Structure 1
Amino acid sequence: MTRRLTRRAFLASSTAATGFVLLHPFSARAQTGQAHLRILTTTDLHCHAQAYDYYGDRPNDTLGLSRTASIIEEIRAEATNTLLVDNGDYFQGNPMGDWMAYEHGMNEGDIHPIIAAMNTLGYDCGTLGNHEFNYGVEFMDRVNAGANFPVVSANFGASLGATPTEDSLHLPPYVILDRMVRDGDGTEMPIRVGIIGFLPPQILQWDRAHLEGAYNVRGIVEAAEAWVPRMKEEGADIIVALSHSGISASEYEPMMENASLYLAGVDGIDAVVTGHQHLVFPGSNHEGEGIDATAGTLMGKPAVMAGFWGSHLGIIDLMLARDGDGWTVANAESSVRPISQRNEDRSISALVGDYAPVVDATAEAHASTLEYVRAEVGQTEVPLYSYFALVADDPSVQIVSDAQKWYVTDILRGTEHEGLPVLSAAAPFKAGGRGGAEYYTDVPAGPVAIKNVADLYLYPNTLMAVRITGAQVREWLERSAGMFNQITAGQTDQVLLNPDFPSYNFDVIDGVTYQIDLTQPSRYDNDGNVVAPDAHRIVDLQFNGAPIDEAAEFIVATNNYRAGGGGHFPGADGSTIIFRAPDTNRDIIVRYIVQNGTISPAADGNWGFAPAPGTTVLFETGPAAEQYLGEVRARGVLMEAAGPGENGFALYRIAL
């Protein structure tokens, strides 16, 4: 299905009308038969319409479409012709998204606040990300119904076969935009811009509860190879791929999650918008054959990844040349522009202000979200913080495990599973890393509000329970231990954390005790493949004070992402699920706190590092961690401050 849109020309305002603007060289140099087309991109907005941190209940200069929009208006004026596109994960990801899904709902005719914000900016097209399915397909469809722009997706559809056909796709696979461009001498000419969208095939695992049995997916590259020739046949002059998929130089595999590099190699695609990884490209985060991180190209074609939460605007500049009755790309550039900067003293400075129309369009939802997140649910006797969650047993993870274990133990009474030991797997979601030096949970002792629970558990996952063996418990922990680099015994100040391992895959399993031997190599790589079959980092694994029986069976409380195969953990591939809760993990935490009134989730120290005399390691955490250093030391961790780190982080040293 092809939609041809002519709702507005996309000629930028003339510089004479707007005052002096420094034009991009492509616009300044364009001659007769040449036209500069600038593609402006956002990705992974995750419902951050305004520059506000609902978890901390305070403004935040590092995020928000209201800030990115200021750059959009400025950068449009630098080019003769522009398009604005979004690359997915737009309406889920913060308390505003949860408020809309769980409190407000989406009735017919309602406009979701992030869509209202996007409509004010005149987006030309968008695509789906994986998080669009977190609240179910029906909710997603109601959100998209309010968009004044087409949303496309070429590899998601009804379960009518192994490879969805055009008739079975849930949305149009692509759109061809009929536009007019102004060339170097001011002549307006028609152009046909094809835009096609893709999402990670792993959605069938990650949102199995919403999708299983009703929907199917296709590999990103395979879908592109099927549809791009059709777009050319229908007269697309240039084709832009919206790829809600990251960049990886790993060997190509059908259905791979981060396939943007190989997507760029598909004949007929002229530019690629990437995302999903919450990184910036061009930049220093990617390398490998076919990737030019300086020039911003994949397989020689321009590509861009614009961070996350509106932190950057991605820009692809195309110099087009008239070719008969059509256009070809003669030259291209890629770049990103941030909305904030970190200063030498670790502070953040805003580089732009708010774009008032976005603030106005989302003001009512913003106020309602604040009322929602400020509602108190109970009290905590101890602070809940995640500054040390990757290096020591931690109260912010402990409360999640306590609530999950309480819920599953109760729900399995009277079933065939009653009497089996219940363990609980939980990971720290806010633990610095790519989120920055302020990206940590920090709830002081005292009242606990919805915003604090949402801060403890960022995602709208639903609770699930799996039934696995003691041997699978061990392997689950081995997979989790990939969080750490291999350490050489006797050496000092070695870097501890593996920067490519996401904190949400660092599961701590409560109900057993164990140590992690850092001198061993990781048994699994970052993708969950066994790479060191003889390595065993998990040592002294015990249940009830005795070595675990690897043949014994256990119930593990977890979430739908992990139970369905997310992260590729042994024992969690969808086949071991014995219970699917109707409640989200976050709602279960709220109910646990409400029932108890006051909580005191002191970390019980059920895991730690195996001793390695004469060995020290360094890790980064937020500078605010200093206030809790004494508590961690009191739990027996030999830790001390080691000075400032990079990008606003603080360094700490652990003696093993």
Structure 2
Amino acid sequence: MSEHSNHDPVPRWCSCDVPDDDLVESGDTGITRRNILIGATAASALAAAGWAGPAVAAPGGKGDKSVTITIMGTSDLHTNVVNWDYYKDATYSDSAGNAVGLARVASVVKQIRADRGADRTLLFDAGDTIQGTPLGFYYATVEPVTETGATHPMAAQMNALDYDAVALGNHEFNYGLEFLDHWISQMDAPVLAANAVHARTKVPRFRPYAIKTIKVKGRPPIRVGVLGLTNPGVVIWDKANVEGKVEVLDLVATAKRWVPVMRAQGADIVVVSAHSGDSGTSSYSGDLPNENAAALVAEQVPGIDAILFGHAHREVPERIVANLQTGAKVVMSEPKNWGQRLSVFDLALEFERGRWRVATSSAHLVNTNTVVDDPEFVAIVRSQHDAVVRYMNSPVANSTTEMLAAESCWKDTAILDYVNEVQTATVAAAVAGTPEASLPIVSIAAPFNRAARFPAGSVTIKDVAGLYIYDNTLMASVLTGKQIKEYLEFSAEYYKQVAPEAPVDPAAWTNAQTPRAASTPDYNYDQFSGVEYTVDISKPVGQRISPLTFEGAAVSDDQQFLVAVNNYRQSGGGGFPHIATAPVVYNAQVAIREAIVAYASAQGTIDPVSFHVENWKLVRNGVPVFTP
């Protein structure tokens, strides 16, 4: 337990449907001056970004009865605190001119509060807050706030911005429940997840909802309830952290349970903050509840007025969904991730028959790229940000040549082979002296970041982090030759089918649509080292992998291999066959990024000649796409 053990981080909810009363509550900095807000944010800039300005009373001659409240929402902030790219060691930039960071969001929020009136606005978040950048990794593992007593930078900024409620995302579970509880204990705002329950019960482990009160002169107060829902995929993606401790129930069923409770507790307006996309599809299979169920919640649960949602990293300015039972319109919005957009809901309320109800509602997005970072919010995290910048620029080894990941999605590249080299060496050392040491070791890696690069000369932690951008840990499982072949066929669905005579355009061949997704992400194209094979993209799905060989000999169906793999994949992430049920031989919770840093530091030199083997290649009708 952390030093905050006197602040019980695990609420002891009753098993009944009526919750406890306390659910209701009324230089070398890497930050340049051009990122910082100088003076007040200009209303004209916000107008250009999509902010419509102060609200007016609802039309129809009922202005004396109507009140408009504004609900602002963020999602998928992923520890972006300022407009900075830690992998490039530079101000964040992309082709669309977007900006990132909560310091940037703060500029917009302050202006909207000034225009609307702070007493007429609320600010919510839909999750994925404490993981995502090297800053999140640093304060969870390198200099963990659970040990130093420092305030987590996301808690510090969110507290300063006076968030009214925050929902948990699936990535909140990445660093374990103790770390999550500690972060929650530092938050001023209630942190919500009604469907994350104690294992084998329906008792919420976290706070299910909160009710905020907005005072209205001469009228009863407006009571706005916010229900937090997280993603069922947690039990797959963070199985090691939650198994036997936390289960995540269906979003629709959970909302059906809690929305009536919130109404009975006096909520006039009900808002759902859900870390779940709106497509109604899942990236996983099996009996697990729907991953992207936000629109289903709107359709199937009466009594909801608005839904702030996230998880998909899309921008949805406004989506109106009719409830199938009542016909009532539910307004939904998803802000673009990392603080690039702010969702703004305008709810015009009328007081009728002793209660407030929504008369009209709308939503839109405000782009944060036309304002600049608020200096107060830069100052809050400046020292922590500086520490991460220094850490990222620490040298770990020297590379004999430049290595690029730009072609890793269609070629066997040295830089991705380095990941496999480290994983293989780490597993080999771990199983030495055990029965599994006799098994041949193969390794799996995927191209996470096409922009990754090791320069010739000094390689820094920043370079390693740019190659391995996720906080995965290393595991090892046993697979047979037949299982590896089927695994590779699944991975090869990443490619579109291409005619043998078609022009060579590999960038256009990737990210194919599958029955599970409209586009397969790069991180779901797994490549094996240690076995030899070809991928024939002129063949149909399921018929693309040539017979496997190992050290020149054909691999038999029942031949066993020890497979180095990350915890996300081993727990079922991506839906690859066999790996989630394979016997686990090694699981020391070693972060792969840190393993790469340690291995490179110990070796001192990164020389592709010593580890790069082109063991797989793309072919069409048996003919290699690329020639040496």
Higher strand content, 1 or 2: 1
Which residue of structure 1 lines up, in the alignment, with residue 311 of structure 2?
276
Deviations 1:51-84 (A, max 9, x none): 1111111121531111122122223344352111
Give the secondary structure class of the aligned counterpart of 2:333. Answer: strand
CA drift at 1:491? 4.1
TM-score by length of 1: 0.80
Query: What is the rounded CA distance, in whole Å, between the counterparts of 2:248 and 2:566 in structure 1?
Result: 22
* Within-5 A mapping of 1:102-251: 102-107=141-146, 110-159=150-199, 161=200, 163-165=201-203, 169-181=204-216, 189-250=220-281
Question: Structure 1's 517 and 181: CA in aligned 2 closer, same or farther, altered over 3 A?
Answer: farther
Deviations 1:283-317 (A, max 9, x none): 8xx9xxx979xxxxx99521111121111112222
Give the secondary structure class of the aligned counterpart of 2:412. Answer: coil
Query: What is the rounded CA distance, in whole Å, between the counterparts of 1:33 and 1:153 in structure 2?
Result: 34
CA drift at 1:189? 4.4
Q: Does 1:596 align with 2:603?
A: yes
Give the secondary structure class of the aligned counterpart of 1:417. Answer: helix
Which residue of structure 1 lines up, in the alignment, with residue 359 of structure 2?
330
Give the secondary structure class of the aligned counterpart of 1:84. Answer: strand
Deviations 1:190-239 (A, max 9, x none): 11111111111121221122222222221221211111111111111111
Which residue of structure 2 lines up, in the alignment, with residue 307 of structure 1?
336
Give the secondary structure class of the aligned counterpart of 2:459. Answer: strand
Q: Does 1:497 align with 2:510?
A: yes
CA drift at 1:49? 0.4
Query: What is the rounded CA distance, in whole Å, between the counterparts of 1:240 and 1:128 in structure 2?
Result: 15
Give the secondary structure class of the aligned counterpart of 2:226. Answer: strand
Which residue of structure 1 lines up, in the alignment, with residue 345 of structure 2?
316
Q: Which amino acid aligns with 1:59?
A: T
Question: Structure 1's 559 and 254: CA in aligned 2 closer, same or farther, altered over 3 A?
Answer: closer
Q: Does 1:442 align with 2:480?
A: no
Is this contact kept in 1: 2:73–2:126, CA < 8 A?
Answer: yes
Question: Structure 1's 200 and 601: CA in aligned 2 closer, same or farther, altered over 3 A?
Answer: farther
Is this contact kept in 2: 1:26–1:319, CA < 8 A?
Answer: no
Is this contact kept in 2: 1:193–1:236, CA < 8 A?
Answer: yes
Is this contact kept in 1: 2:53–2:112, CA < 8 A?
Answer: no
CA drift at 1:505? 1.2
Give the secondary structure class of the aligned counterpart of 1:400. Answer: helix
* Within-5 A mapping of 1:519-530: 519-522=538-541
Is this contact kept in 2: 1:478–1:538, CA < 8 A?
Answer: yes
Q: Which amino acid aligns with 2:289?
A: M
Is this contact kept in 2: 1:278–1:307, CA < 8 A?
Answer: yes
CA drift at 1:382? 2.4
Give % identity. Answer: 35
Query: What is the rounded CA distance, in whole Å, between the counterparts of 2:491 and 2:461 in structure 1?
Result: 29
Q: Which amino acid aligns with 2:489?
A: E
TM-score by length of 2: 0.83
Which residue of structure 1 lines up, in the alignment, with residue 618 of structure 2?
609
CA drift at 1:144? 1.5
Which residue of structure 1 lines up, in the alignment, with residue 138 of structure 2?
99
Deviations 1:6-54 (A, max 9, x none): 2xxxxxx9x99xxx99635555757122122221111111111011111
Q: Does 1:383 align with 2:390?
A: no
CA drift at 1:599? 0.9
Give the secondary structure class of the aligned counterpart of 2:435. Answer: coil
Q: Does 1:469 align with 2:480?
A: yes
Give the secondary structure class of the aligned counterpart of 2:620. Answer: coil
Which residue of structure 2 lines up, in the alignment, with residue 39 of structure 1?
71
Query: What is the rounded CA distance, in whole Å, between the counterparts of 1:313 and 1:256 in structure 2?
Result: 26
Query: What is the rounded CA distance, in whole Å, between the counterparts of 1:41 and 1:612 in structure 2?
Result: 51
Q: Which amino acid aligns with 2:232?
A: P
CA drift at 1:496? 1.2
Is this contact kept in 2: 1:490–1:615, CA < 8 A?
Answer: no
Which residue of structure 1 lines up, in the alignment, with residue 415 of structure 2?
396
Query: What is the rounded CA distance, in whole Å, between the counterparts of 1:28 and 1:239 in structure 2?
Result: 20
Query: What is the rounded CA distance, in whole Å, between the counterparts of 1:101 and 1:399 in structure 2?
Result: 25
* Within-5 A mapping of 1:496-515: 496-498=509-511, 500-515=519-534
Q: Where does the alignment leave 5 or more consecutive residues of structure 1 unmatched?
A: 7-12, 293-297, 341-350, 432-439, 523-534, 617-632, 637-656
Question: Structure 1's 562 and 250: CA in aligned 2 closer, same or farther, altered over 3 A?
Answer: closer
Is this contact kept in 2: 1:164–1:217, CA < 8 A?
Answer: no
Deviations 1:352-379 (A, max 9, x none): 2111111011011011111221221111
Question: Structure 1's 302 and 384: CA in aligned 2 closer, same or farther, altered over 3 A?
Answer: farther
Which residue of structure 2 lines up, in the alignment, with residue 552 of structure 1?
559
Which residue of structure 2 lines up, in the alignment, with residue 651 of structure 1?
none
Q: Does 1:4 align with 2:53?
A: no
Q: Does 1:57 align with 2:109?
A: no
Q: Which amino acid aligns with 1:384?
A: M
Q: Which amino acid aligns with 2:378?
A: V
372, 376, 384: which one aligns with 1:353: 372
Which residue of structure 2 lines up, in the alignment, with residue 649 of structure 1?
none
Q: Which amino acid aligns with 1:258?
A: N
Query: What is the rounded CA distance, in whole Å, between the counterparts of 2:439 and 2:181 in structure 1?
Result: 41
Query: What is the rounded CA distance, in whole Å, between the counterparts of 2:428 and 2:624 in structure 1?
Result: 41
Query: What is the rounded CA distance, in whole Å, between the counterparts of 1:67 and 1:444 in structure 2?
Result: 32
Query: What is the rounded CA distance, in whole Å, between the counterparts of 1:549 and 1:107 in structure 2?
Result: 49
Deviations 1:476-513 (A, max 9, x none): 11221122222244444774122621211111111112
Query: What is the rounded CA distance, in whole Å, between the counterparts of 2:604 and 2:57 in structure 1?
Result: 63
Which residue of structure 2 lines up, in the alignment, with residue 259 of structure 1?
293
Higher helix content, 1 or 2: 2
Which residue of structure 2 lines up, in the alignment, with residue 74 of structure 1?
111
CA drift at 1:402? 0.7
Question: Structure 1's 403 and 231: CA in aligned 2 closer, same or farther, altered over 3 A?
Answer: same
Q: Which structure carries more relative contact order (alpha carbon 8 Å, separation 6+)?
A: 2
575, 586, 592: which one aligns with 1:585: 592
CA RMSD of aligned residues (A): 2.8
550, 569, 578: which one aligns with 2:576: 569
Query: What is the rounded CA distance, in whole Å, between the counterparts of 1:561 and 1:267 in structure 2?
Result: 36
Give the secondary structure class of the aligned counterpart of 1:204. Answer: helix
Q: Where does the alignment leave 5 or more consecutive residues of structure 2 unmatched?
A: 1-18, 27-39, 94-98, 513-518
Q: How many equivalent pairs are there?
A: 560
Give the secondary structure class of the aligned counterpart of 2:145. Answer: coil
Query: What is the rounded CA distance, in whole Å, between the counterparts of 2:574 and 2:190 in structure 1?
Result: 32
Is this contact kept in 1: 2:79–2:129, CA < 8 A?
Answer: yes
Query: What is the rounded CA distance, in whole Å, between the counterparts of 1:587 and 1:337 in structure 2?
Result: 38
Q: Which amino acid aligns with 2:184?
A: N
Query: What is the rounded CA distance, in whole Å, between the counterparts of 1:330 and 1:389 in structure 2?
Result: 53
Q: Which amino acid aligns with 1:278?
A: H
Q: Which amino acid aligns with 2:230?
A: L
